Amino acid sequence: MVKLSQTDYEKMVAHAESELPDEACGLIAGRIDGDDKIIEKVYLLTNIDHSNEHFSLDPKEQLAAVKDMRANGLKPLGNWHSHPESPSRPSEEDKRLAYDSSASYLILSLMDRENPVLNSFHIEGDVSEKEEFYVG
């Protein structure tokens, strides 16, 4: 199961809303405990594509985030991005760009602004699977 704290969830939603109409993106880090991936830190990065259909993480910010993870003893667990106008599931492009099958890919849909939907996916090749996911 992938676990995210309510505080980090709210931080992610607030950032995604502030980046509208563009997709927002970032990294997740934490620890692995048996079958659980516990997210302990969410990084909010700049989408250098400034697009509502795709994203690219700012490479400098990405490097700084990875350094921060090392300094804090956190393991990189994957990334997250928002879908401003589409459901919470990987697009064809998302699958193509998901090169790490050990990572979790979190997708936050803001399609229904009142009810954001966040899911975590395991992606291998062109097959994506929803992971067990817990916020709280």
Structure tokens at 131: 């992971």
What does the angle CA 46 – CA 84 – CA 57 come to, to the nearest 5 degrees?
20
Q: Shortest approach of Zn ion to residue 101 CB, angstroms?
A: 17
Rounded Cα gap, residues 109 and 63, in angstroms: 26
Residue written as tokens 């516990």? 38
Which residue, 19 or 94, is less far from Zn ion as judged by CB? 94
Q: DSSP label at 47? A: B
| For Zn ion, the closer CB: 40 or 94 | 94
Query: With respect to Zn ion, which residue has the nearer C-beta, 8 or 23?
Result: 23
Which residues of the shown chain bind Zn ion in the complex (CB under 5 A)?
Answer: 91, 94
Least distance CB 108 / Zn ion (angstroms): 10
Least distance (Å) from Zn ion to the CB of residue 18?
Answer: 18
